[in-house]
Amino acid sequence: MRNICLSILLTLAFMVNAENPFFKPFDNERQTPPFAEIKTEHFEPAILRGVELANKDIESIVTNPDAPTFENTIVALDNAGEDLNRVLNVFYPLTSALCDDEMMEVINRVQPVLSNYSTSVILNEGLWNRVKTVYENRASLKLTPEQQTLLENTYNDFALSGATLTGDDRDTFRQLNDSIGKLTNRFGQNVLKELKTYEIWLTADDLDGLPKSAVEAASLAASQKGREGEYLFTLDQPVYTQFMKYSTRRDLREKMYRLYMGRNREGEYNNKEIIKQIADLRRQRANLLGSQTYAQQSLKRTMAQTPENVMGLLNQLAEAYRPAADAELTELNKFATEIEGTEFQVAPWDYSFYSTKLKNAKYSYDEEEMRPYFQLDNVIDGVFGLATRLYGLQFTENKNIPVYHPDVKAFDVNDADGSYIGVIFTDFFPRDTKRAGAWMTEFRGQHVKDGEDVRPHVTIVMNFTKPTADEPSLLTPYEVETFLHEFGHALHGLLSQCNYQSLAGTNVYRDFVELPSQFNENYLTEKEFLDGFARHYKTGEPIPQELIDKLVASSQYGAAYACLRQLMFGLIDMKWHSITEPVEGDSEQFENEAYASVALFTPIPGTMTSTTFSHIFSGGYAAGYYSYKWAEVLDADAFAKFKEDGIFNQETAKSFRQNILERGGTENPALLYRRFRGADPSINALLKRDGINPINAKQINKDM
């Protein structure tokens, strides 16, 4: 009956949406999504149709009368659901970059359908039996390393996702997946919806210390609301960050901090109970699959392998960085006392303010002083130019490619020999329908189909300060670093040279995926890189050597504090996903206990991280946030090789491209890294880069 109803619904949807752009090939110049034709109403019927066609693909594999082989089972499964993937590859990116209330309603309706489809594939006994047969005969198949990886991944996807379950356990698994999907979606929507509700209205008397760019942006935001002469501040990340760094009004900094860190704790968009439910449902699912905790289950498909290895790294880093972080805070308290003329203890809402002042005092460094040299257009040239110098890539804006918003631009990417690499979309500015933060995703991943190399369409999304009537978009060094980071992910997707889409580009272990992005960040403090594009937006003068020296000298400032902050996130994540029974107490207290070993401030009642921790409660980083630090060990070690050989050394860059960027997840990342570096990674390079006492290096050096 259910299938009959679905078929009727699909028929009606097709009749109503005869012009649905997802029901025909994308026939523009680069086969990119025809955004001008796509409407929100098109997604749901296209997804339903895609699910029906994907189910037919699965059925054809299961009912194939031929004996299971690598091609007719494993490869066929990797290619299944092409129509569904095509619409989801547009749908999911837009749910983060262009999501209004109508889009959220579509998400709510299709999420159960998609969750049920995914679960039905994993729990399809006929499909599992064919996969298992191929896997058990793998020794006789003479597969390439990439084919072996695809087979192993496919087998493990089933084995670790409930394929071995029988009877009532299968029904329970379906129910758990469905509940987790609904709650993670609700969590993410709550974060986005509540963020939109915050409007902090100030007058001219409240603006002391704020940079001109922040004041102008707030004035413009207020005028757009019809309130001339006032200033509107929100909790969007660029706005909040600037305010906390530069506002001299401690009372307003505290207000902003408590609002920002108190989000989604109560009211209509409360996530406090949702996070406990998500964590426990994940625990139950892990138990069903034979693991004591979700972390144990999840880490089986990572470089780290076990929670013990993760906690080992986090604790070793905490031991190495804690003394330096304590010293940093002691120095900051002393500095603040000198400024205030009385004994002063820095609170969480004071840290950015006094830290910025101390950094400027020590190094005469103020990142606002550097904004004029980082005009966005020039930074685009510089960041794209990094890929030109390292890998020979060329970027040309293509205005014939449709975009999903007027702020978005599309660029053709070609190799040094002129051959086509792919398309990159850039989306730089905040808007009401866009979530905070920065990310990279794909509208189409690279793979080989019928002997043809299908090239990727990637996008990088950020939230930089928009241009005003008087000034273009001017970036801070941190924002340039963010750009470099996301562009590293984009290169991982663009340069992919793989056969199977599930192994291509950024489809790698999550504690390896940040290597290309974090590797790129190293160039921010390299004079040879900055000299190529950092010019004053008014005079055209190159960035003075003095400012570059200040940037380089200050790059280690606060490194220990920053490390402990990242460790805090990792420890919170691991505690939520290491529970062996439901969390009965207050989630705020649970969180405070998780990061007590790295806390530099006494927790502020009414504030917490977990209720807005989208990475782990609505993203893909559950029991995986540690991977940023894990990858940081890799990126520091990798860049040390470039420092040894020359930061633009062509042979070193070629090796990094061929062994890391092009290979995706085709082999174990430890092997790929070893081919590039010639050795296993060492934590020593990270300690050296951060200026941590080298005596500690021997204590925490770890064979990864």
- The domains located in the chain, with CATH, are 2-164 (1.10.1370.40), 198-262 (no CATH), 372-558+628-700 (1.10.1370.40)
Q: Which residues contact 258 (CB under 8 A, 6 or more apart)?
A: 349, 604, 606, 607
Structure tokens at 93: 């990116």
Q: How far is it, in rounded angstroms, from Cα 667 to Cα 594? A: 34
* pLDDT for res 328: 95
The two tokens of residue 106 are 């579509």
DSSP secondary structure string for all residues of 579-640: -SS---S-HHHHHHHHTGGG-SSPPPTT--SGGG-HHHHTSS-TTTTTHHHHHHHHHHHHHH
pTM over 0.85? The answer is no
Core vs surface per residue 603-617: b (16+ CB within 10 A) or e:
bbeebbbbbbbbbbb
**Residue 689: which of 654, 649, 638 has the closest Cα?**
638
Strand spans (E) along 384-451: 394-397, 409-414, 420-427, 439-444, 447-449
User: How high is the pLDDT of residue 17?
Assistant: 54
* 486 classed as catalytic: yes
Output the pLDDT for position 697: 40
Instruction: Please report, in angstroms and rounded to a whole number, the separation of the first and last CA atoms in the chain.
Output: 53
What are the respective helix, strand and coil percentages of the chain, to the nearest 5? 60, 5, 35
Portion of the chain with pLDDT greater than 90, in percent: 81
Distance, C-alpha 122 to centroid of its chain: 26
The values of phi and psi at residue 117, to 5°, are: -65, -50
The overall average pLDDT reported for the chain is 92
Q: What is residue 339's predicted lDDT score, i.e. its pLDDT?
A: 94
Count CB-CB contacts under 10 A for residue 436.
19
Residue 375's DSSP bridge partners are 474
Give the whole-angstrom CA distance, residue 453 versus residue 446.
7
Q: What is the pLDDT of residue 694?
A: 59
Q: Record the tokens describing residue 635, joined without a space.
A: 């990126």
* Residue that is written with structure tokens 């590859």 in the block: 89
The ranges of the chain with pLDDT < 70 are 1-18, 694-704
- Give the number of other CB atoms < 10 A from CB of residue 449: 11
Instruction: Provide the 3-class DSSP secondary structure of residue 325.
Output: helix
Half-sphere exposure of 413 (CA within 13 A, CB side): 27
Q: Where do we find the tokens 């806390």?
A: 599
- Exactly one of 442, 486, 526, 632 is catalytic; name it: 486
pLDDT at 2: 45
CA distance readout (Å), 320 to 313, 449, 477, 539, 630: 11, 49, 27, 45, 15
φ, ψ for residue 301 (rounded to 5)?
A: -110, 50
Q: What does the pLDDT read at residue 682?
A: 81
User: How high is the pLDDT of residue 366?
Assistant: 80
Q: Which two tokens stand for residue 411?
A: 């660029």
Of 43, 163, 167, 16, nearest to 113 by C-alpha is 43
Contact 389, 649 (CB under 8 A): no
Give the residue among 496, 497, 462 at the shortest CA–CA distance from 478: 462
Distance (Å, whole) CA 344 – CA 531: 41
Distance CA 644, CA 455 (A): 34
Contact between residue 325 and residue 563 where contact means Cβ atoms under 8 Å apart: yes
**Are the CB atoms for 447 and 501 separated by under 8 Å?**
yes
Distance in angstroms (rounded) separating the CA atoms of residues 670 and 633? 13
Reduce the DSSP state of residue 442 to 3 states and report it: strand
Residue keyed to tokens 């060329």: 394
Amino acid at 378: N
pLDDT for 7: 53
The whole-angstrom separation of Cα 704 and Cα 701 is 9
- Cα separation values, 319 from 51, 390, 598, 700, Å: 50, 36, 9, 8
Instruction: Show the tokens assigned to 121.
Output: 């594939």
